[in-house]
């Protein structure tokens, strides 16, 4: 790709999309295109097609999705299934119909079966039952992966899917009703510290194991896929190591400086026992993560503090 190739980043204001935008800009790409949800409703196929044609987009990076944690997935199953399918299918089909040769689809490690062998390999897809607490989102993302694979198989276009592990970092969502575990913990510990180091209640037992990837590393992986023609259609993206939720909580507590008690509510669900990605396929292509969890947590908390006024508007 040339530095002036027109690249459309769907979801460019989200945590992942904005990181990709910054990364591409830092590499000298000058023709980036983004639209807010008010400017372009990705659930409308006709509008998506008209946009791709009129803008003469050459590459599409799909970082747009309706996302959230266990609570949000359980509360809004239909929206998590249908909205995500509409968004991604309109972008994939619109790109195919308008002759776009390169498409990068971003999914999630939740596409793999709940009890798949660890670490999770790409070949585990569709070999078992999904985790019930996020199956709606997972099914939507699986359909996107298979759509890209079908286009690649049938038409030979460079449509590739990247499945990240749990992402976190700057511009994350810190709304406790819809956020993922790491930003939710960070906010809880901060608020508790500000309230005199009051106890922090966390869901589950703390025993499940999770892997976390700093969002700037994810952006690097996307740009790697953008600048190279990868040999296969599906790649895991992660750091290749994990830790218990309890250990994560203790790390975040230390970064924030909270000195109160941690209370585990074992009546609440744990989710999947373990989700560690096998990242050897992408590593063999030439990419691997660089940011340690400690470094990423400090960067995230620094950003949170600098933007805390915005988060105060979103009540606990």
| Per-residue pLDDT reduced to its tens digit, 88-127 | 999 999 999 999 999 999 999 989 998 899 999 999 999 9
Q: Which of 168, 150, 178 is nearest to 212 (CA)?
A: 168
CB atoms near residue 141 (< 10 Å)? 24
Active-site residue (options: 8, 29, 112, 137) = 137
pLDDT at 269: 83
Helix (H) or strand (E) holding 312: helix 308-312
Is residue 13 within 8 A of residue 36, CB to CB? The reply is: yes
CB atoms near residue 282 (< 10 Å)? 24
Mean pLDDT by 10 residues, the chain (316 residues): 93 96 97 96 96 96 85 85 96 97 95 93 97 90 98 98 96 84 95 97 94 98 96 97 97 98 93 88 97 98 92 53
233 has binding-site annotation:
no
Burial 197-213 (b: 16+ CB within 10 A, else e): eeebebbbebebbbbbb
270 has binding-site annotation:
yes
269 has binding-site annotation:
no
DSSP character at residue 116: P
290 has binding-site annotation:
no
Strand partners, 7: 32, 59
pLDDT at 202: 96
Known catalytic residue at 137: yes
Q: Which domains does the chain have, with CATH numbers?
A: 7-312 (3.40.50.720)
Is residue 223 within 8 A of residue 20, CB to CB? The reply is: yes
16 has binding-site annotation:
yes
Is residue 255 within 8 A of residue 296, CB to CB? The reply is: no
Tokens of 253: 């507590």
Q: Which of 170, 191, 180, 143 is nearest to 304 (CA)?
A: 170
What value, to the nearest 5°, has the Cα angle with vertex 235 and ends 180 and 185? 15
283 has binding-site annotation:
no
Q: What percent of the chain has pLDDT over 70?
A: 98
Q: What is the pTM of this model?
A: 0.92
| Per-residue pLDDT reduced to its tens digit, 257-267 | 999 999 999 99
pLDDT at 313: 54
Tokens of 76: 């809004």
């Amino acid at each position: 790709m040339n530095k002036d190739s027109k690249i459309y980043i769907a979801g460019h204001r989200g945590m992942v999309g904005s990181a990709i935008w910054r990364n591409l800009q830092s590499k000298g790409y000058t023709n980036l295109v983004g639209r807010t949800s008010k400017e372009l409703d990705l659930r409308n196929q006709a509008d998506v097609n008209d946009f791709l044609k009129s803008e003469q987009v050459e590459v599409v990076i799909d970082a747009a999705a309706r996302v959230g944690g266990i609570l949000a997935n359980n509360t809004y199953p239909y929206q998590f299934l249908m909205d995500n399918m509409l968004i991604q299918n309109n972008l994939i089909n619109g790109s195919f119909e308008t002759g776009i040769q390169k498409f990068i689809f971003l999914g999630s490690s939740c596409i793999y079966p709940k009890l798949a062998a660890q670490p999770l390999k790409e070949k585990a897809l569709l070999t078992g039952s999904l985790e019930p607490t996020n199956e709606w989102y997972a099914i939507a993302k699986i359909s996107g992966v298979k759509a890209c694979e079908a286009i690649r198989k049938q038409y030979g276009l460079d449509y590739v899917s990247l499945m990240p592990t749990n992402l976190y970092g700057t511009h994350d969502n810190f709304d406790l009703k819809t956020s993922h575990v790491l930003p939710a913990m960070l906010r809880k510990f901060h608020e508790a510290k500000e309230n005199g180091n009051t106890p922090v209640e966390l869901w589950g037992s703390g025993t499940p194991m999770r892997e976390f990837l700093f969002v700037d590393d994810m952006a690097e992986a996307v740009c790697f896929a953008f600048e190279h023609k990868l040999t296969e259609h599906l790649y895991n993206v992660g750091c290749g190591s994990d830790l218990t939720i309890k250990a994560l909580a203790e790390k975040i507590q230390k970064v924030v400086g909270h000195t109160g008690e941690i209370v585990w509510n074992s009546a609440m669900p744990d989710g999947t026992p373990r989700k560690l990605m096998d990242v050897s396929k992408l590593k063999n292509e030439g990419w691997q993560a660089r940011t340690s969890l400690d470094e990423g947590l400090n960067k995230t908390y620094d950003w949170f503090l600098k933007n805390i006024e915005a988060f105060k508007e979103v009540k606990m």
